[in-house]
Structure 1
């Protein structure tokens, strides 16, 4: 690739605007179905002026020419499901994803304890018991051994379970006599004593006592998250389940021009009255920060055995998951859903299990029947286990499947032991797509890596798990670009490379076109990342 000033074009048509930067000799995947491929693209300021095969008429003497030399150019990737500052915090916190045994788990925590001030909690974690030889869940005894003097509370990688040490349990007042909470479970041993493992809503018994982070730490986490996103070619993200303190924090950063990644936030479903009041007060929004709508939960997760299924888990007779506390009162759910619809608020609902997905689809269908169809772009987050009778409903009801392909690869290692034959309905991406449903893709970071290329490869290969549901590269790329922009109502200004769109772009090595064959452990495909037409990562 090379960069040079243009020698000028004395024959340029006077009425056409000149471009400041012109990319030539590229394999440009525009994600605009009217003009899907091109070799040249011109920018002026932060926007795209022209896309085609011969843009010489847009050249001026001062135009910068960037010769892509056959490299691939795509829109900036979008991640429609993250927990963004938490991901940045994870980059700077204890990381238990590297633990493949009890001893490694304890050693990593012990190492963290040695460098953590005694008055600071040890959090983070993202452990996965499926990596341990005996698949045993960690307990308070593991944590007590590793860090006897600290308060420790470390979560499973899916965010639906966490384990507390004895100090944390004592602080929260959790004893043998403490009952389960609605939408959550306090796991106890055969003697009735808490093991330290808390599931879903029960985790809040400890989380609510965690001291607030300082402004300095919050800035560190966000900057780490933005650096990581841009490194991965991700120029826009959705931050899910954002409280109102964080919403106003983002608003202030946007006003100050301190955001380097475009952020769209979704606030808790049950707090719709609070969001309505905040919107009435007025919220500053621009191309860097926007309020997307409401995010609710209908169930838990498969790995924590809290996904809501029609039938019991194979390895846990009598347990078919649980309904999240957001959805315990369906009368309240309908009230919020109907009122939010009256205010044109988008709704995104987490659903993992087949019964949870049907419940959400039924509620959406009920609203459509009552209010009529319009462009709501309702989303089901994760959409992991869909009964065959429900897979075509995404297209029929115009519900967006907001999915995270890396979860498919991760679950392929162990889901069969939990679901048996029901795994045939797991992550049915191709079935949803073929029936007219729209896909938007993300990571659920820090539950899974915030890496769009890794996600695309996961959607293409699926670890050879249920191969009939594989996608091709074009469909996967679309779901991380234009499909993602559609899912957040921003496809009129980003997500595809067309005149008038924001110049958020990724330059990739040609090997990207054969992504299924690339070893991503040894190959970095991203050469450069542009946001608003400016180079923000890599080199050109």
Structure 2
């Protein structure tokens, strides 16, 4: 056998391969692992790059189960408002805003809790930035706040009807509040914002993915993929290699061309591919657009995003018949129930269909989901938007009983289900170490705040599996990915601490020694 391209030594590898749980050396040629231990040392040649990790713990490469790097670089720019805790903070942030192209001010990360339980309105925006086109995306990505000038530029003068359940919010006197609920309502304003040049977007994307790789990420499931994004990825292919492999799921909204989305499957570049379709059965709790079995405390969150829920069922079954994976955003318990109902008796023929978020779910619905063969995809770091005492907007709307069912990660695992973990960046931070830590702590690492539903915490091994072996099961590559084994894809993450046994607070900031994605070293630190 010819020599290895890369030989990784000075490490203890947690292979997650039951037939060979540990290894001390890993030989890589091209994008594959070709040997382990003594067999790996034997493949060292004069041109082999020997990477000595100095005692680091190597695991299969981490994969983010749910992320939006393409949507994020185009729609989440301008002012970072994630540090605002009340309206005074928002005033101060807006006062320092720098106007962009054609005088626009944009921002992102605005928390519903800033409004203290009062309706979300553009009152503060109008006060600080009068006569200015402003669009602030709330942290959930499903709602935004627009100034009067921005609404006027978009030609919005009152409510509109949409093919999906979206709303341009007006107050009790019929006046526009600036609050835009769901993507269809936000799109008219986004459409009149001057677009960011492609060259700038390419730079943003590569910089972002390099930063992600430095936290140990080797791959990501991208839950979007508009036509412009695919063109952008093609352009990046001409310049460089993506630091993180991307698996894209373009959106399927009510009225979309199903045949066209099937035809899009398999479009690929050097390190990206279209391999699924993303649905939304509902919106968000805080926005009042999730689909719950019973209304929240404001009488909201009672409807699906699809006006005709049977149309959704027909659509996902169409893709199942075409052997195209679907991933459905379903936050409320009624939304999850409908997704599970839609797949009852469906021949998936080896394709693992997914449900994303599952924010409040009784254990009997967890059992139904697992029995149907659906994958649960959850984001542990979303617990940072809630509080153990239920004083936050999400918990207040739901009430204590439903808030106590928050992000039931452990129920999924204890029931025998496949659980994929991710960040949902830019909704939450992309740092893969934090995702692993949140899954174990149920609170922000490095703090002493009370954990949210601590009984749903995962073990260190379960958390690691959620970004490795279970991620591979979800996309049907478990025979060739998610493990450190001969013949598997050479995806490796090397930690300076043991990600299974080290304290979770320590793991969250522990340096990453090496990230390798399909044989390409994307991050290396002495």
TM-score, length-normalised on structure 1? 0.87
Match of 2:431 among 445, 451, 475: 451
Q: Cα offset for 1:168? A: 1.1
Once the two structures are superposed, what CA deviation does each residue of 1:450-496 show, in whole Å capped at 9, x if it has no partner? Answer: 11111111111113222221111111111112222332234444332
Tell me, in whole angstroms, the C-alpha distance in 2 between the residues paired with 1:172 and 1:373.
Answer: 43
Once the two structures are superposed, what CA deviation does each residue of 1:92-124 show, in whole Å capped at 9, x if it has no partner? Answer: 5210001122122122223223xx246053223
Once the two structures are superposed, what CA deviation does each residue of 1:254-277 show, in whole Å capped at 9, x if it has no partner? Answer: 466543321111112248964634
Match of 1:421 among 397, 401, 409: 401
Q: Cα offset for 1:382? A: 0.9
- Within the alignment, does 1:73 sit opposite 2:58 as a pair? yes
Tell me, in whole angstroms, the C-alpha distance in 2 between the residues paired with 1:507 and 1:29.
Answer: 10
Tell me, in whole angstroms, the C-alpha distance in 1 between the residues paired with 2:101 and 2:42.
Answer: 66
Which residue pairs with 1:98 in the alignment? 83
Match of 1:208 among 181, 191, 194: 191
Match of 1:320 among 301, 311, 316: 301
The Cα RMSD (Å) is 2.7
Tell me, in whole angstroms, the C-alpha distance in 1 between the residues paired with 2:288 and 2:301.
Answer: 8
- Within the alignment, does 1:526 sit opposite 2:512 as a pair? yes
Task: Identify, as 1 or 2, the structure richer in helix.
Answer: 1
Tell me, in whole angstroms, the C-alpha distance in 2 between the residues paired with 1:259 and 1:323.
Answer: 36
Task: State whether residues 300 and 321 of structure 1, in contact with CA within 8 Å, keep that contact through their aligned partners in structure 2.
Answer: no
Once the two structures are superposed, what CA deviation does each residue of 1:12-44 show, in whole Å capped at 9, x if it has no partner? Answer: xxxx54434332342212222332322221223
TM-score, length-normalised on structure 2? 0.89
Task: State whether residues 105 and 133 of structure 2, in contact with CA within 8 Å, keep that contact through their aligned partners in structure 1.
Answer: yes
Return 292-301 or 505-514, whichever deviates more. 505-514
Q: Cα offset for 1:516? A: 3.5
Once the two structures are superposed, what CA deviation does each residue of 1:348-373 show, in whole Å capped at 9, x if it has no partner? Answer: 1100000100011000115x1xxx35
Tell me, in whole angstroms, the C-alpha distance in 2 between the residues paired with 1:354 and 1:257.
Answer: 43
Tell me, in whole angstroms, the C-alpha distance in 2 between the residues paired with 1:453 and 1:488.
Answer: 22
Task: State whether residues 502 and 532 of structure 1, in contact with CA within 8 Å, keep that contact through their aligned partners in structure 2.
Answer: yes
Once the two structures are superposed, what CA deviation does each residue of 1:36-60 show, in whole Å capped at 9, x if it has no partner? Answer: 3222212233321122477443344
Task: State whether residues 105 and 135 of structure 2, in contact with CA within 8 Å, keep that contact through their aligned partners in structure 1.
Answer: yes
Tell me, in whole angstroms, the C-alpha distance in 2 between the residues paired with 1:168 and 1:456.
Answer: 40
Tell me, in whole angstroms, the C-alpha distance in 1 between the residues paired with 2:77 and 2:192.
Answer: 21
- Within the alignment, does 1:166 sit opposite 2:148 as a pair? yes
Which residue pairs with 1:376 in the alignment? 351
Task: State whether residues 210 and 522 of structure 2, in contact with CA within 8 Å, keep that contact through their aligned partners in structure 1.
Answer: no
1:53-452 aligned within 5 A: 55-60=40-45, 63-88=48-73, 93-113=78-98, 116-117=99-100, 119-131=102-114, 134-175=116-157, 177-179=158-160, 181=162, 182-200=164-182, 201-254=184-237, 258-270=241-253, 274=257, 276-277=259-260, 280=263, 284-286=267-269, 288-314=271-297, 316=298, 318-324=299-305, 327-366=306-345, 368=346, 372-412=347-387, 414=392, 415-419=394-398, 420-452=400-432
Which residue pairs with 1:536 in the alignment? 522
Once the two structures are superposed, what CA deviation does each residue of 1:58-112 show, in whole Å capped at 9, x if it has no partner? Answer: 3445544433332111222111211113434578521000112212212222322
Tell me, in whole angstroms, the C-alpha distance in 2 between the residues paired with 1:534 and 1:281.
Answer: 27
Could you say if the C-alpha distance between residues 187 and 297 of structure 1 is closer, same or farther in structure 2, counting changes exceeding 3 Å? same
Secondary structure of the residue that 2:33 maps to in structure 1? strand
Secondary structure of the residue that 1:263 maps to in structure 2? strand
Secondary structure of the residue that 2:63 maps to in structure 1? strand
Tell me, in whole angstroms, the C-alpha distance in 2 between the residues paired with 1:396 and 1:108.
Answer: 48
Q: Cα offset for 1:331? A: 3.6
- Within the alignment, does 1:507 sit opposite 2:494 as a pair? yes
- Within the alignment, does 1:487 sit opposite 2:466 as a pair? no
Return 77-86 or 58-67, whichever deviates more. 58-67
Tell me, in whole angstroms, the C-alpha distance in 1 between the residues paired with 2:96 and 2:524.
Answer: 33
Tell me, in whole angstroms, the C-alpha distance in 2 between the residues paired with 1:90 and 1:233.
Answer: 25
Task: State whether residues 291 and 301 of structure 2, in contact with CA within 8 Å, keep that contact through their aligned partners in structure 1.
Answer: yes
Task: State whether residues 87 and 221 of structure 1, in contact with CA within 8 Å, keep that contact through their aligned partners in structure 2.
Answer: no
Which residue pairs with 2:462 in the alignment? 475
Task: State whether residues 241 and 271 of structure 2, in contact with CA within 8 Å, keep that contact through their aligned partners in structure 1.
Answer: no
Q: What is the number of equivalent residue pairs in this alignment?
A: 512
Q: Cα offset for 1:310? A: 0.9
Return 293-302 or 122-131, whichever deviates more. 122-131
Hey, which bits of structure 1, 4+ residues long, moved more than 6 A?
A: none
Tell me, in whole angstroms, the C-alpha distance in 2 between the residues paired with 1:527 and 1:457.
Answer: 18
Once the two structures are superposed, what CA deviation does each residue of 1:280-330 show, in whole Å capped at 9, x if it has no partner? Answer: 58964256111122111111111222211111213x1x2233311xx2223
Which residue pairs with 2:447 in the alignment? none
Tell me, in whole angstroms, the C-alpha distance in 2 between the residues paired with 1:166 and 1:282.
Answer: 40
Tell me, in whole angstroms, the C-alpha distance in 1 between the residues paired with 2:475 and 2:42.
Answer: 35
Task: State whether residues 218 and 491 of structure 2, in contact with CA within 8 Å, keep that contact through their aligned partners in structure 1.
Answer: yes
Q: Cα offset for 1:347? A: 0.8
